[in-house]
């Protein structure tokens, strides 16, 4: 019984008590809550609000920025809904809401349902009827879609910069250990001669490839949906091109119904791109976990990055790498979840889409955290050259031996057979000599570290330049310097 009481408290479950029909009806009636869109049964309100009253605190600034653009547009449309002075008052009030949020003085109540109505109620309290006029010509549908695109824009640029920094850290490691021998493996078995430089720069280039996918998702996200309202437009001369420019989007989504339909699909595209990044991080994390094992000892794991054991004093566990490996599976599942929720929806807005917000925001947060953690791990790893060289058994050079026979005129299959029949007699070659012979493009002796470093720098520039443009657009819109709000 005690356990059930604890579980009920954690899950916010109230034990059901027997009621007569009349008292149950009375309790249900009393549970109704007054909201800006009417009275709603308390249980229904709690169920439909879901996690929004918590998650939407991350969207307060995006919602205020989108509202500022909408207010400015309402003052410039013909005929105008707001005067320029009224629009400026609304924008100033929105800046005050953003400051209050940063100071921890803004909250979203259950009766508010979400950030959109919470901000509207705050504006109404500050501005009276003027605050009530702001929602003219828009719906919470295009509001939340705009908020998520603004939020996604900033987060994706953060992802791109952080992935670039990890790629640079891997390339730094590759440059320091360009010729440090490391047995290449397939099926985890010793295979052919390689180097730490080859291993590290392989993951760097994988990240650079992943950023092509992330950038494509960013460009798809960088489109304005504000003004599409509930998906069918409004009988007002709203200027969607103007709000596009005010918000720093590349272009508007052309069809208003399609703008509605991009909700869910847009998030799934972003999560799928993040999943590709996380696949690279997961494989890198797995390698680190294996190669820091005492049986390998190829790398020394930074002691300050292990959380240790509560019972075994000697343990330095690679917990961070293990969690990155797990989070990669979670992000991939979040991408699949977004697709599956969106898959069966009919035309127009459907409330099912609300369930995508949490995995979308968590997927972005997990990816960014994983990138930062892996950057620290890579910078802290110390190769053990003695252990690395000890990993070169004679079998690692079997292919080299066969190709040496080929250079003497023996057909490859015959050379392969001869070497295979004499494997116990093989003698190890000098790893440095074997590595020096691999001079073709991308081989251990000819890695294009400079080219990859230049590519990583371009991605970093891509992210910083676009974030600066976005901040400039918002600063111009709000009339204060953003993100400082000064």
- Regarding beta strands 223-224 and 251-252, do their DSSP bridges make them parallel or antiparallel, or are they unpaired? parallel
- Regarding beta strands 382-383 and 299-300, do their DSSP bridges make them parallel or antiparallel, or are they unpaired? antiparallel
252 within 8 A of 186, measured Cβ to Cβ: no
343 within 8 A of 350, measured Cβ to Cβ: no
The residues pairing with 189 across neighbouring beta strands, listed in sequence order, are 186
d(CA 92, CA 339): 39
Q: Helix 256-291 and helix 140-176: axis angle, to 10°?
A: 30
> What is the DSSP code (8-state) at residue 443?
S
Backbone torsion region of residue 409, taken as left when φ is above 0, otherwise alpha when ψ lies between -120 and 50, otherwise beta:
left
Q: Which helix (H) or strand (E) holds 183?
A: strand 181-186
Active-site position among 187, 310, 407, 440: 187
d(CA 248, CA 242): 10
Peptide bond into 79 cis (omega under 30): yes
Helix, coil or strand: residue 383: strand
Strands (E), 365-451: 382-383
Strands (E), 11-111: 33-35, 38-40
d(CA 137, CA 69): 13
- Does residue 309 carry a catalytic annotation? yes
The two tokens of residue 104 are: 């921890």
In angstroms, how far is CA 342 from the centroid of its own chain?
A: 19
Residue 119, C-beta contacts closer than 8 angstroms, at least 6 positions apart = 60, 63, 64, 67, 94, 97
SS (H, E, C) 349-403: CCHHHHHHHHHHHHHHHHHHHHHHHHHHHHHHCEECHHHHHHCCCHHHHHHHHHH
d(CA 164, CA 467): 15
Q: Which residues are catalytic?
A: 187, 309
């Amino acid at each position: 019984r005690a356990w059930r009481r604890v579980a009920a408290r954690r899950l916010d479950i109230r034990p059901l008590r027997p009621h007569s029909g009349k008292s149950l009806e009375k309790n249900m009636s009393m549970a109704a809550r007054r909201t800006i869109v009417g009275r709603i049964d308390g249980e229904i309100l709690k169920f439909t609000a879901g996690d929004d009253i918590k998650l939407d605190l991350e969207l307060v600034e995006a919602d205020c920025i989108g509202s500022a653009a909408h207010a400015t547009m309402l003052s410039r449309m013909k005929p105008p809904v707001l005067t320029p002075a009224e629009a400026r008052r609304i924008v100033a009030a929105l800046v005050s809401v953003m400051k209050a949020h940063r100071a921890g003085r803004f909250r979203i109540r259950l009766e508010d349902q979400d950030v959109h109505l919470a901000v509207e109620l705050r504006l109404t309290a500050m501005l009276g009827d003027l605050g009530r006029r702001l929602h003219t010509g828009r719906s919470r549908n295009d509001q939340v879609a705009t908020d998520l695109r603004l939020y996604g824009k900033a987060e994706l640029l953060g992802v791109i910069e952080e992935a670039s920094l990890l790629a640079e850290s891997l390339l730094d490691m590759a440059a320091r250990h360009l010729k440090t021998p490391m047995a290449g493996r397939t099926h985890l078995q010793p295979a052919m001669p390689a180097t730490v430089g080859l291993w590290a720069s392989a993951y760097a280039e994988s990240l650079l490839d992943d950023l092509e996918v992330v950038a494509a998702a960013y460009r798809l996200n960088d489109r304005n949906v504000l003004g599409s309202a509930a998906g069918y437009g409004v009988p007002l001369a709203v200027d969607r091109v103007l709000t596009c420019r005010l918000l720093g989007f590349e272009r508007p989504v052309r069809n208003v119904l399609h703008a509605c339909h991009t909700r869910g699909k847009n998030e799934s595209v972003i999560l799928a791109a993040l999943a590709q990044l996380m696949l690279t991080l997961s494989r890198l994390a797995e390698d680190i976990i294996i190669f820091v094992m005492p049986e390998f000892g190829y790398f020394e794991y930074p002691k300050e990055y292990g959380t240790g054991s509560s019972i075994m004093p000697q343990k330095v566990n690679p917990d961070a790498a293990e969690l990155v490996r797990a989070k990669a599976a979670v992000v991939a599942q979040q991408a699949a979840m977004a697709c599956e929720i969106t898959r069966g929806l009919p035309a127009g807005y459907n409330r099912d889409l609300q369930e995508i917000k949490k995995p979308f925001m968590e997927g972005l947060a997990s990816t960014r955290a994983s990138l930062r953690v892996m950057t620290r791990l890579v910078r802290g790893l110390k190769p053990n050259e003695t252990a690395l060289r000890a990993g070169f058994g004679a079998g690692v050079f079997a292919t080299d031996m066969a190709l040496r026979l080929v250079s003497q005129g023996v057909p490859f299959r015959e050379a392969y057979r001869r070497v295979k029949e004499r494997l116990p007699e093989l003698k190890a070659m000098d790893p440095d000599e074997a590595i020096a012979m691999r001079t073709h493009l991308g081989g251990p002796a000819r890695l294009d570290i400079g080219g990859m470093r230049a590519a990583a720098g371009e991605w970093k520039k891509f992210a910083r330049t676009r974030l600066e443009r976005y901040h400039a657009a918002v600063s111009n819109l709000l009339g204060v310097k953003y993100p400082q709000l000064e």
